[in-house]
Structure 1
């Protein structure tokens, strides 16, 4: 059996394991299966199950003196597959159709892991089991739930050091150009709760009693002006400004404003248009403050004339490098107090910092050059993504530059029903990773 088929079979097994970290289900099962695959390939493998999501670490050692070390980071946990009725096939069964593979986690992130294992296996087979570079796999199980305890795992394992970290995943753009990215935003999420009575009241009392729904809405309204600019004092104080190279990379991204609107099916005016700002600069380099959801009062059929006693909101702030989650949340709390909303309860739910690689680092430039030669297309280089991930944990622990790329394409549908990859992208990624390994040959 070829290495490609071996690890496609492994991908089938992994997709069948519903390792949903939000539900804390089947995580040890997935970790142990990956550990076995790494051990079978020749890695010195450890499964650390100190916390609810075990961490898998596996070393593949080069016999060359002074060989560099590549850290390959992936995760085995996935998002929930619901709503099931929107899937065209069973999300927990790897399904091939018209050159695509479907299933939850087939891109994010189990397929990226098996593609890298395929590349390593093929390289070893083609080079008498010899490597020109040390490889250290680090595979976690809580990435989809803010990488809980990943920082603790890094503290327990100071041996996780290297010269370059190859991050979990990535994609091609709409024109088939590979995307290389070197960072992501951080995040702090929190709940806000307003309470104005011990019980819901008759709405006739609204003439003299404020409802919790109004109270919370009034508090939230103080966060923004009409153009979406964040009004919280000191919110922007820690923001690390992009350097000239980073601004040039973002300005050169081929996606247009019209592409962005169409892709995301946006109907409202862009806030950056209202502010007269560049939408790319804002998307990649500015923090956000967003209301995820609001809950209060009667939500059933018909009418219930009630004055709600409680209202809650789930809120998040996406953080750019330099911003500390706790410092940011404290600024928000202080703002509420200064605006007369000291009765609003604030509960932090998660937080992690952001990270942005130096895209001129020689190891990252190596990957960019190899991407161009492998795909015969100029890659799209993004110094930081608009999304969030645990890159900062990895960098703070290892002080190692990070670069991300993967097997996705614009129709991959990560986190959504019918998540899928194209087999041709999968195979090209295998070749790309093999070329990276070969670039360390002396």
Structure 2
């Protein structure tokens, strides 16, 4: 292993040791400062903008070539909470190497991707007398795991940011070992819905005359869905959806995995909603919006029996959005529909939101990366125009107006957001080589 790889693996240990949990506002300035120091040491022109609770780290590495293109590398330094701690095989805040894997919270999502990219840049500079064929800007935020709060505000403050291509935060190899390259993600709006039917919890004998908040909430939420098809019944919910073009449909259809493998891999025991309505499950997964109930809380939930009529009930929900849909408009449609159905007493409170985005996978800059992957990795790369997950691609594209492609150090067993999050060292090292290859490809433009 090269000295640079060892250097940045040591740095990765320092990053993992900082529990930079944006949901709790923990260790965010400290992590941004540590990244800034590393980027300055590497020779970057660094700015840490701390206008909001999660500082934004920007670092410029300039080419000496006239007319050099611009490459932005986007990452995030915040992570998900590590709880429940008892399900980890070791301390989540201590980077652990075991059986060819690196284990720790954030090692895949997204700190290992950061250090792999630092390593690639450092090795390229070492091997080319400190010269770059492309201007590189690192853009590293600290609130991606909480819907990238204030990223759009930060970007508005930095109109100097420009790019011909944006390399996104992360990506995987699939279960066949093929590299996955993605060009989009869904948006999201998360919200709480609360029912309150009394000032205090009541004796359950009063249920003959007093409405329960738990019933009231359940009945209201049930109106959102058609029970026969699982489709969302909110009027105009789908009206702004930008339908996929034929190339996007073809790319998704070509993604590996059958419906049977999907069901088995996720241990699904209920019928798929797409089977109920006769839709293609892959197209729905990648191109359709959804509403999901994340959790419901009400009344007595401890051991044994307590004969109580709950006065209050709350549900946490999310709507996954596809390009064209706005978080605030979607939430208002849901709120208005509940009121029209006779549930105006339910309180709807927005918590987070961001729009969705899809890249044009035929863009020349993206096609170049795909071609490089074909040459570098064994087997055909898996190319997807979007993903079922959520991220702030729309904010970045709206501000910088450049195509986006995602790639990274992960694999199917990385356990992002779960206990024992991990990456394989072989994938990590492959990614370093591939990012160096992307940088070097600009020498021939």
Alignment equivalent of 1:361, drawn from 363, 369, 394: 363
Q: Does 1:288 align with 2:276?
A: no
Alpha-carbon separation, structure 2, partners of 1:252 and 1:289 = 26
Alpha-carbon separation, structure 1, partners of 2:256 and 2:97 = 31
Q: Does 1:321 align with 2:304?
A: no
Partner of 2:63: 62
User: What is the RMSD computed on CA atoms of the aligned residues?
Assistant: 0.8
Structure 1 stretches of 5 or more lacking a match? none
> 1:205 offset after TM fit, Å?
1.4
Alpha-carbon separation, structure 1, partners of 2:309 and 2:82 = 36
Alpha-carbon separation, structure 1, partners of 2:139 and 2:221 = 40
Alignment equivalent of 2:436, drawn from 415, 434, 437: 434
Aligned residues of 2:108 and 2:410 also touching (Cα < 8 A): yes
Partner of 1:225: 226
TM-score by length of 1: 0.99
Secondary structure of the 1:93 match is coil
Partner of 2:53: 52
Deviates more, 1:263-272 or 1:344-353: 263-272
Alpha-carbon separation, structure 2, partners of 1:129 and 1:259 = 48
> 1:261 offset after TM fit, Å?
1.2
Secondary structure of the 1:424 match is helix
Alpha-carbon separation, structure 2, partners of 1:134 and 1:415 = 33
Provide, for residues 70-112 of structure 1, a one-character-per-residue CA deviation record: whole Å limited to 9, x for no partner. Answer: 0000011111111111111111111111111111111110000
Alignment equivalent of 2:243, drawn from 218, 236, 241: 241
> 1:264 offset after TM fit, Å?
1.3
Alpha-carbon separation, structure 2, partners of 1:218 and 1:88 = 42
Partner of 1:107: 108
Alpha-carbon separation, structure 2, partners of 1:25 and 1:335 = 38
Partner of 1:307: 309
Provide, for residues 362-403 of structure 1, a one-character-per-residue CA deviation record: whole Å limited to 9, x for no partner. Answer: 000011111111113211001000000011110111111110
Alpha-carbon separation, structure 2, partners of 1:154 and 1:319 = 22
Partner of 2:187: 186
Secondary structure of the 1:159 match is coil
Q: Does 1:213 align with 2:195?
A: no
1:138-149 equivalence runs, <5 A: 138-149=139-150
Aligned residues of 2:178 and 2:378 also touching (Cα < 8 A): no
Partner of 1:255: 257
TM-score by length of 2: 0.98
> 1:265 offset after TM fit, Å?
1.5
1:1-150 equivalence runs, <5 A: 2-150=3-151
Alpha-carbon separation, structure 2, partners of 1:124 and 1:178 = 25
Secondary structure of the 1:289 match is strand
